[in-house]
Structure 1
Amino acid sequence: MTATPPSFAKTPPTDVLADMLRAVRLTGACFLKASFTEPFGVLSPRRFDATVPMAHLRHVSVFHLITANSCMIETTNGHRQQLNTGDIALLPFVAEHKLWRGDRPNFVPASQVVARHPKEGVWSFSHGGGGTETQMICGFIESAELMASPMFRSLPELVIERAGDHMVDRGIASTIGALTAQVESLNRGAEVVLGRMMETLFVEILRRHVEQLPP
């Protein structure tokens, strides 16, 4: 972020965030369990094919939670970061990005490797060359109503919460643990519980980001 938008320049960021989140409710979410084996390369598009559930969302915020091993992520603007176990990458705005591991991976569109999971409410990604496995949970959240907020629009294209960062508080840590357990169990009604957990995680990440902004 380069400058504080004048609409909330004199208001504490946490107050603006609270007002923003009270005014809207996140609606609609899709969840994917991903299993990628090295070498792999996946291109997440700006818009998904109509055959997958993410296609119906108006404005998508995407997060990737790494649950095993690591991979690289890169945005179209060349912002590249390594993601390790426990790290969360949040892309507030629907945008093309790449996920990969290994030398010279062959990138395939995500729509080509997504499949319906046996349990309702969750889809899955499976792709790669058969080497070291990287696992992650991917969430796609409908966040169109938040686009009216100057604070939301001023977020960077990629926000990363590091598992080893002491600034990651208990709220995020406990939500990650519960979310991972829920995705693994996939009991009846899991999609409803996952939706609530994803909202909580989304809000926690935004809160952490806002708290770290300069006064």
Structure 2
Amino acid sequence: MDVLSDVLLAVRLTGAVYFDIEARSPFVAESPPTQVIADRVAADAEHLIGFHVLTSGSCWVEAVDEPEPAELLRAGEMVIFSSGEANILSSAPGMRGQPDLTRYYRPVSEALPFVIDFNGDSSGDRCRIVCGYLACDKGPFNPLLESLPRMVHAPVSDRSWGWMTSLLDAAVAASDERDAGQEAMLAKLSELMFLEALRSHLDDLPPGTRNWVAGLRDREVGAALRLMHGRFAEPWTLEHLAREVGISRSSLAERFSAYIGIPPMTYLARWRLQLASRLLQGGTCTVAQAASAVGYQSESAFNRAFKRQVGVAPGAWRRKDSAT
């Protein structure tokens, strides 16, 4: 079981490449917080993640309201703002701009991405930036989102950079001709770029990091996660899980909690409810069917657990999503 892919599917990650920017120094471009533009960019999204990929040249990137200094972004690198913070891309650190909210809308007679030129000095250094958004569910349980830092700065691997830039160029060219399917192509490409950045982030984590992402690469914690994600409906107990992982109950409980922040059985319960919430969306699955599918023997127990975690009863959740 590929746990990372499983989570990305369960939280309904969908992407869109929104801007293809050519810039010459001096320039500054400020992106607003995603909650300000969410209704314009993806009206049905529960959460928006902003990202920028530098395909040529270099520039500086920083979050508007964070104390950390600006970081240099080079060609072949991607930056992800997992919480949707306002951020700045500029030719020099410390520059400030004003976001243009009129640029953020779902086009009807145009095609994404929007092409923008920031023409500074004609002799200034040039860079190309691809910017977009990834929509996903924030709840009931998104362990990836909860474990990511507010800003992830990661290189795209050499093995992927060539085909990614080729696909990006092809998709942007298709948008000029309004070719059928080009927007879907860009959406999938943005999801692939996000996954590549996550892989690089995982590879570069310091040895002492303790969170869900780091837990994926730990032998015991990673094994427990794979078992629970791959066989989520089984009647797991801590003893059964520890036996399959190959360590004692106490060792698994301690190690899992140190990485993930919650005990294994609590994690399993929350993950089951995340899956159940997806089954209930759209109204094609009954509450009893959803409860059974994720391993609950009692519908009443499922109702209590769902309401405790999600805040509403599963029937109300189902009706809400059926009406949207």
Same fold (TM over 0.5): yes
Give the drift of 1:90.
1.6
Between the aligned partners of 2:127 and 2:114, the Cα distance in structure 1 is 17
Between the aligned partners of 2:104 and 2:5, the Cα distance in structure 1 is 35
Match of 1:199 in 2: 191
State percent identity of aligned pairs: 26
Match of 1:130 in 2: 121
Give the drift of 1:177.
3.2
Q: Which of 49, 61, 71 lines up with 1:81 in the alignment?
A: 71
Choose between structure 1 and 2: higher helix proportion.
2
Match of 1:32 in 2: 19
Matches within 5 A, 1:177-192: 177-186=166-175, 187=177, 188=179, 189-192=181-184
* Structure 2 unaligned regions, length at least 5: 208-217, 219-324
Matches within 5 A, 1:162-177: 162=155, 168=157, 170-171=159-160, 173-177=162-166
Deviations 1:2-52 (A, max 9, x none): xxxxxxxxxxxx954233123233235342111222211122111476699
Between the aligned partners of 1:178 and 1:111, the Cα distance in structure 2 is 28
**1:107 aligns to what SS in structure 2?**
coil
**1:177 aligns to what SS in structure 2?**
helix
How many residues align? The count is 198
- CA distance change for structure 1 residues 201 and 178 in 2, over 3 Å: closer, same or farther? same
Between the aligned partners of 2:117 and 2:50, the Cα distance in structure 1 is 18
The one-letter code sitting in structure 1 at the alignment partner of 2:137 is: A
The one-letter code sitting in structure 2 at the alignment partner of 1:180 is: D
- CA distance change for structure 1 residues 22 and 118 in 2, over 3 Å: closer, same or farther? closer
TM-score (norm 1): 0.74
The one-letter code sitting in structure 2 at the alignment partner of 1:179 is: L
Matches within 5 A, 1:73-152: 73-75=61-63, 76-79=65-68, 80-102=70-92, 105=95, 107-111=97-101, 119-131=110-122, 132=124, 133-145=126-138, 148-152=141-145
- CA distance change for structure 1 residues 212 and 66 in 2, over 3 Å: closer, same or farther? closer
Between the aligned partners of 1:114 and 1:128, the Cα distance in structure 2 is 20
Q: Which has the larger radius of gyration?
A: 2
**1:39 aligns to what SS in structure 2?**
coil
- Give the aligned CA root-mean-square deviation in angstroms: 3.3
Give the drift of 1:71.
0.8
Between the aligned partners of 2:33 and 2:168, the Cα distance in structure 1 is 25
Choose between structure 1 and 2: higher strand proportion.
1
Q: Which has the higher contact order (CA 8 A, sep 6+)?
A: 1
Contact 1:113 1:126 in 2 (8 A): no
The one-letter code sitting in structure 2 at the alignment partner of 1:142 is: A
- CA distance change for structure 1 residues 169 and 85 in 2, over 3 Å: closer, same or farther? closer
The one-letter code sitting in structure 2 at the alignment partner of 1:64 is: H
**2:98 aligns to what SS in structure 1?**
strand
Match of 2:279 in 1: none
Deviations 1:139-168 (A, max 9, x none): 1111234782223211011212236xxxx2
Match of 1:3 in 2: none
Deviates more, 1:16-25 or 1:77-86: 16-25
Give the drift of 1:125.
3.0
TM-score (norm 2): 0.52
- CA distance change for structure 1 residues 105 and 52 in 2, over 3 Å: closer, same or farther? farther
* Structure 1 unaligned regions, length at least 5: 1-13
Contact 1:48 1:111 in 2 (8 A): no
- CA distance change for structure 1 residues 55 and 26 in 2, over 3 Å: closer, same or farther? closer
Give the drift of 1:104.
7.0
